[in-house]
Amino acid sequence: MSSLKDELIKEVGKRRTFAIISHPDAGKTTLTEKLLLYGGAIHLAGSIKSRKTQRHAVSDWMEIEKQRGISVTSSVLQFDYDGCRINILDTPGHQDFSEDTYRTLMAVDSAVMVIDVAKGVEAQTKKLFKVCKQRNIPIFTFVNKLDHYGKMPLDLMDEIENVLGIRSYPMNWPIGTDGQYMGVYDRRRKKILLFSADTTHGQEARVADVYEPDDPEAIARIGESAYESLQMDIELLDEAGEEFDQEKVDCGELTPMFFGSAMTNFGVQDFLEEFIRLAPTPAPRESSDGLIEPIDEKFSGFIFKIQANMNPAHRDRLAFIRICSGKFERNMEVWHEKSGKMIKLAQPQQFLAQDRQIIDVAYPGDIVGLFDPGIFSIGDTICDPAHKFQFAAFPVFPPEKFARVSAKDTMKRKQFVKGIMQLTQEGAIQLFQQPGAGMESYIVGTVGTLQFEVLEYRLKNEYNVDIEMNMQPYEVARWLAFEDGSEVTPDKLHGADRGMFVYDRKNNPVLLVSNEWALGWILDNNPHLELNPVPFDRKEV
């Protein structure tokens, strides 16, 4: 076996690359930050947004995120813990940004699903869970906010099974009464972990006192009544609950379940250590040439995210690559499948949100940022020229909201076009143009309305362009083709005036209509017309 193969086996075994997903406000970003705190990547958590300190979550780097208190773009965070390299991808919780989240899920090997103990399984959680299930991604559940009143743990287990269709195995169990939990019982180690009162408002790591299950001191701290309830619950789980099965965890059929509070650091370290023990190492990836194994010595990776202006001072543009096989080395030359050219990977960077450092090497599972002069697109494959192939295509989302967008000041048309094009390449918006229209205005399509607010904010703050934005009365987009392969033009389309005829960036014809009824009328009156919710060469989510 070659020395590189040995090196790859060793390094791949250290990697854990996962996304954190949840409904908005379940505490996903706070949990991300606390994992960094326990991993030693930060020394003081910044979740307390006091007027004095104005701290913000480490992973929310964009100014609009800090103002609104939500995540609107995925961020990449890396740190080492207990001999492992952890790659966390914190994702937007808001449903209007689910497209970014779905792409992020293409780049991970597992997911952590954060659930609010009071609200249980919410709408966005269901959507994101469905994508994980489609990819058979192992899912770990963190029931958060145990410092508040909420649903009973057994009721949450039932809800996860009934609503999401996955069985759960509690790795720990909360000790105490509703909203007044004082610790957890570790089922694997058969230990009681009790926490002292949190006096730092969650800013510093919190260490648990560990006891044997029958230790008199632990029983005294817990109280007789709560201790009896704990014993009954554990007995019920052991007798009637699921058996732990690592194979079922690995294929996404069983979710290890943890209880805690990210805000007060309750149970966070216990979760981190168990997650590292149970989570999968980087997995093989589907490609046009079969499965690509991470320990394959030939380098490969794919672009899953593009972000412009992470550093406003430099107006840079970064492409985020998930390394899939081989060893990444600074300044290496690789084959860019889309352009059919060799390119040099200069200035590779790794991240703690917008804080970054130049790196020399990286391995499968790692996420690396590459300076992008405008050659990369989401879904691009880069690989060793001795083994050319393409990774499986990314899914596409049909837009549901549309607006006509133009620059208020025609003298700033150049900046306007540049900003619109860059945000389109990031995947933040989809771009359309009416036949004969110049670059004075575009039709912008998004999955949700909040993306328009981000579009307006970023054009103003990153490109110094104020825009006019007029919402359009359309909710359905369909790509058009005739069965005989002939070109689709407005004059050949009976009833094209019932919607808006536009072209996408690749000059494919698209019809925007207000509802499914209008779509049915178009189909009835154009019997040889084919309709698709995404471009014909792409796969819909």
The pLDDT, as a whole number, for residue 71 is 38
Per-residue pLDDT tens digits for 328-378:
999 999 999 989 999 999 888 886 644 678 889 999 999 998 888 888 888
Q: How far apart are CA 185 and CA 193, in angstroms?
A: 6
Per-residue pLDDT tens digits for 475-498:
999 999 999 989 999 989 988 888
Bridge pairing between strands 191-195 and 180-186: antiparallel
Per-residue pLDDT tens digits for 382-396:
999 999 999 988 777
pLDDT exceeds 80 at position 203: no
Q: How far apart are CA 376 and CA 318, in angstroms?
A: 9
pLDDT exceeds 70 at position 232: yes
Average pLDDT over residues 395-409: 88
pLDDT exceeds 90 at position 65: no
**First and final C-alpha spacing in the chain:** 41
CA proximity to 307, closest of 171, 427, 393, 223: 427
Q: Is the CB of residue 364 less than 8 Å from the CB of residue 326?
A: yes
Phi, psi (degrees; rounded to nearest 5) at 333? -105, 130
Quick check: helix, strand or coil at residue 263? coil
Radius of gyration of the chain (CA): 25
Confidence of residue 54 (pLDDT cuts 50, 70, 90): very low
Confidence of residue 311 (pLDDT cuts 50, 70, 90): low
pLDDT exceeds 60 at position 47: no
Domains of the chain and any CATH numbers? 18-74+107-278 (3.40.50.300), 300-383 (2.40.30.10), 395-540 (3.30.70.3280)
Tell me the pLDDT of the chain averaged across its residues: 85
More confident residue, 195 or 224: 224
Q: What is the 3 state secondary structure string of 428-491? A: CCEEEECCCCCCCEEEEEECCCHHHHHHHHHHHHHHCCCEEEEECCCCEEEEEEECCCCCCCHH
The pLDDT, as a whole number, for residue 98 is 56
Q: What is the 3 state secondary structure string of 168-228? A: EEECEEEEEECCEEEEEEECCCCEEEEECCCCCCCCCCCCEEEECCCCHHHHHHHCHHHHH
Q: Is the CB of residue 424 less than 8 Å from the CB of residue 430?
A: yes
Q: How far apart are CA 185 and CA 169, in angstroms?
A: 13
Average pLDDT over residues 222-235: 93
Average pLDDT over residues 413-441: 85
Give the pTM: 0.80
Per-residue pLDDT tens digits for 93-115:
445 445 677 788 889 999 999 99
Average pLDDT over residues 251-280: 92
More confident residue, 451 or 199: 451
The pLDDT, as a whole number, for residue 478 is 93
Distances (CA, A) of 342 to 333, 375, 384, 385: 6, 12, 9, 8
More confident residue, 239 or 2: 239
Q: Which of 31-35, 175-179, 441-445 has the lowest mean pLDDT?
A: 175-179
Confidence of residue 312 (pLDDT cuts 50, 70, 90): low
DSSP, residue by residue, 272-323: HHHHHHHSPPPPPB-BTTS-B-TT-SS-EEEEEEEEE-SSTTTT-EEEEEEE
Can you read off the two tokens belonging to residue 316? 């840079």
Confidence of residue 310 (pLDDT cuts 50, 70, 90): low
- Dihedral over Cα of 307, 311, 316, 320: its sign: negative
Average pLDDT over residues 235-261: 94
The pLDDT, as a whole number, for residue 69 is 40
